[in-house]
Amino acid sequence: MSISNEEFFKKVVAHCKEYGFVFPSSEIYDGLSAVYDYGSRGIPLKNNLRQYWWQSMTRVHKNIVGIDAAIFMHPRVWKASGHVDGFSDPMIDNKDSKKRYRADQLIEDYIDKQDAKIQKEVEKASMRFGDSFDEKKYRETNPRVLEYQAKIDRAASVLKEGLENDNLKMIKDFIVEQNIVCPISGTCNWTDIRQFNLMYSTQMNATDGGEDALFLRPETAQGIFVNFLNVQKTARMKIPFGIAQTGKAFRNEIVARQFIMRMKEFEQMEMQFFVRPGTEIEWYNQWKESRMKWHLAMGIKPEHYRFHEHDKLAHYANAAVDIEYQFPFGFKELEGIHSRTDFDLSRHQEFSGKKIKYHDPELNESYTPYVIETSIGLDRLFLMTMCENLKDETLDNGETRTVLCVHPSLAPVKAAIMPLVNKDGLPELADEIYKKLHLDFDCFIEEKDSIGKRYRRQDAIGTPFCITVDHESLNDNAVTVRDRDTMEQKRVAIAELHPLISSKVNMNILLSKLD
Ligand code: GAP
């Protein structure tokens, strides 16, 4: 029986909690809105995703190096970057429910609804006309589809114009005119729209405010920009080259939504690639391609991804695209690739009064490099991994299993070692096998319950190999290895376990697809 997208998403969230992937923060105090903790299964999966990204940047590319800048930065950094003046969301309150929403998201949801209506019309027509159905023509001519499409176009243009010209009244008028209601109260009784800055502030010393006021970084990228010359000189990098960084970022997301999709404290993995002015669009296209390759290497279905080119460019960008993933709640941004021109380096030069130029030995010329940025949220990537890979399967014998078909290189546990019974020397042999494997692979000794139940528990967390130690193992020095995906079982000599596991879970399996 298939379940709705909404039910599936609820299942993902419940699964994350039940199997120790992700918990609400401070849960015994009823949690903290949009803040989450990773559990014992979540953290190795998150670490593996981070490692895959990190190695794909710093090992696969000989011209990318890493840094780890502090979360606290000089307050002027955020003035220079434009975050103090411009990093805000347009918020609107419903006077009846007292709930606050992002006005742009209300309109985006409205667009999604019109889009879903078009999709429904197309599906109905396709069933009606069968093989002779010409979808393109139908979309271009059917009056109902055209009506929905016109609504989408108008909503998108109001949003674009309203945001670009800071005309918040125009956006509110559209919300009221289209009777876009609050999902809680069902009314259209809205306040005016106001801009809210998303940065959290604290202070450096005991005194409040003023010069001591600090911001928690809302993106990791600025730590790279301010270190550009330090890294370029000490690592002796020549343009084109990149600097990669992973780390926490903080945003006061007033509207917490969709589990770890939109968090107040989250982790970013960002890479700034510094290039000669005039070559940036070529590099932008290369990074678009290379980042998509990275995603597909994990075995994610290509149709679950799409590029979304930005119509509205940030003031510092001359090209920008999102890689969107089809989450159960629709296609949403997973990663951004931006051609940021020389905006950031120039602004830091201006605000710090320090010269930030690169001397190009080939051109014998100094210039401010242009930058291509790739930026992905680790938590969103984690959510994508769960949504893509969590499956309910019906087996040949009619039983069902829940399995996390995550790529073996990313799986939180690589091998579960299972003594058939807890006596007769089998736990001791299981321990010996554990000792042979655990320094290279995350292993787990599974002792409780029937083997069938133990398999189900390991399937649910995505363990690629289950290794059963039985009485025969004491004589033949071999064990039964069961494969997560095929569920096939075969006898394997204990001495062969290490190469067998390595052949499937080594991170290089993923990385070699990128070369
Ligand atoms: N330096 C560029 C930058 O920060 P962004 O589009 O604001 O760009 C990049 O963020 C990525 O960070 C997003 O594609 C998303 O994956 C992740 N991200 C942004 N805000 C987030 C949030 N509140 N919670 C979780 N992930 C977030």
Per-residue pLDDT of 376-392, as tens digits, reads: 999 999 999 999 999 99
- Contacts of residue 477, defined as CB under 8 A and 6 or more positions apart, other chains included, come to 493, 494, 495
1 vs 319, higher pLDDT: 319
Q: What is the pLDDT of residue 397?
A: 87
Q: How many residues does the chain have?
A: 515
pLDDT value of residue 172: 96
380 Cβ inside 6 Å of ligand 1: yes
Helices (H), 24-167: 42-58, 75-81, 83-86, 103-129, 135-141, 143-164
pLDDT surpassing 60 at residue 186: yes
Residue 399, C-beta contacts closer than 8 angstroms, at least 6 positions apart:
none
Q: How confident is the model at residue 160 (pLDDT cuts 50, 70, 90)?
A: confident
Pocket test for ligand 1, best of 263, 380, 383, 387 (most atoms within 8 A of CB): 380
Q: Is the pLDDT of residue 347 over 90?
A: yes
Crossing angle between the packed helical segments 143-164 and 103-129, to the nearest 10 degrees: 160
Compute, in angstroms, the gap from residue 193 CA to the centroid of ligand 1: 23
Inter-CA distances, 374 with 245, 303, 370, 377, Å:
11, 21, 14, 10
Per-residue pLDDT at 480: 98
Q: How confident is the model at residue 210 (pLDDT cuts 50, 70, 90)?
A: low
The whole-number pLDDT of residue 314 equals 80
Q: How far is CA 196 from CA 82, 101, 251, in A?
A: 14, 11, 11
Amino acid at residue number 356: I
What is the distance between the alpha carbons of residues 224 and 244, in angstroms, rounded to a whole number? 8
- At 206, the pLDDT band (50, 70, 90 cuts) reads low
The distance of Cα 329 from the centroid of its chain, to the nearest Å, equals 15
Residue 511 has pLDDT above 60, yes or no: yes
**For position 190, what pLDDT does the model report?**
96
- pLDDT of res. 470: 97
CB 373 within 8 A of CB 291: no
Residues 235/265, Cβ–Cβ less than 8 Å: no
Q: What is the pLDDT of residue 177?
A: 96
Whose Cα sits closest to atom 20 in ligand 1? 262
Where does the pLDDT of residue 212 fall: very low under 50, low under 70, confident under 90, or very high at 90 and above?
low
Contact partners, residue 3, CB within 8 Å, separation at least 6 = 11
Q: Is any atom of ligand 1 closer than 6 Å to the C-beta of 470? A: no
- Average pLDDT of span 249-258: 85
C-alpha of 208 from chain center? 35
Helical spans, DSSP H, in 353-411:
378-389
With cut-offs at 50, 70 and 90, classify the pLDDT of residue 211.
low
pLDDT of residue 205: 75
Mean pLDDT for 407-412 is 98
Q: 213-215 and 201-203 as β-strands: parallel, antiparallel, unpaired?
A: antiparallel
CA distances from 269 to 52, 58, 274, 331, 378 (A): 11, 12, 17, 21, 7
For position 355, what pLDDT does the model report? 97
What mean pLDDT is predicted for residues 189-201? 94
| Cα(377) to centroid(ligand 1), Å | 5
Q: Ligand 1 centroid to 348 CA: how many Å?
A: 22
Task: Give residue 2's pLDDT.
Answer: 67
Q: Is the CB of 375 under 6 A from ligand 1?
A: yes
* The pLDDT value given to residue 207: 58
Ligand 1 pocket, residue 376 CB under 6 Å:
yes
Atom 21 in ligand 1: which residue has the minimum CA distance?
262
Cα–Cα distance, 189 to 179 (Å, whole number) = 10
Q: What is the pLDDT of residue 515?
A: 82
Within 203-306, residue ranges assigned H as helices are 221-226, 228-234, 280-297
Ligand 1 nearest-atom number relative to CA 268: 12
pLDDT grade for 77, boundaries at 50, 70 and 90: very high
**pLDDT of amino acid 396:** 87
Residue 270 Cβ contacting ligand 1 at under 6 Å: yes
**pLDDT, mean over the chain:** 94
**Facing residues of 269 across strands?**
246, 376
Contact 256, 314 (CB under 8 A): no
Q: Which amino acid is at 67?
A: I
Give the C-alpha separation, 271 to 102, whole Å: 28
Whether the CB-CB separation of 215 and 78 falls below 8 Å is answered with yes
Nearest-angstrom CA–CA distance, 447 and 436 = 18
Band the pLDDT of 15: cuts 50, 70, 90. Answer: very high
Is there an atom of ligand 1 within 6 Å of 412 CB? no
Give mean pLDDT, residues 432-451. Answer: 96
Q: Is 335 in the pocket of ligand 1 (CB under 6 A)?
A: yes
Specify which residues 482 forms β-bridges with. Answer: 466, 489
Q: Which tens digit of pLDDT belongs to each residue from 25-41?
A: 999 999 999 999 999 99
Distance 298 CA to ligand 1 centre (A): 21
Round to whole Å and give the CA distance between 415 and 428.
Answer: 17
Backbone φ, ψ for residue 313 (5° rounding): -95, 140
Return the structure tokens found at 353: 């009064």
Query: From the CB of 291, is ligand 1 less than 6 Å away?
Result: no
pLDDT at 292 over 60: yes
The answer to whether 12 and 386 have CB atoms below 8 angstroms apart is yes
The pLDDT value given to residue 279: 97
How much is the pLDDT for 296?
Answer: 98
Interval 79-136: pLDDT, tens: 999 999 889 989 999 999 999 999 998 999 999 899 999 999 999 999 998 888 899 9
Mean pLDDT of 50-55: 98
Exposed (0-12), middle (13-18) or buried (19+): which is 441, by Cβ within 10 Å?
buried
Residues with Cβ < 8 Å from 248, sequence gap 6 or more? 71, 217, 220, 265, 266, 267, 268
More confident: 163 or 174? 174
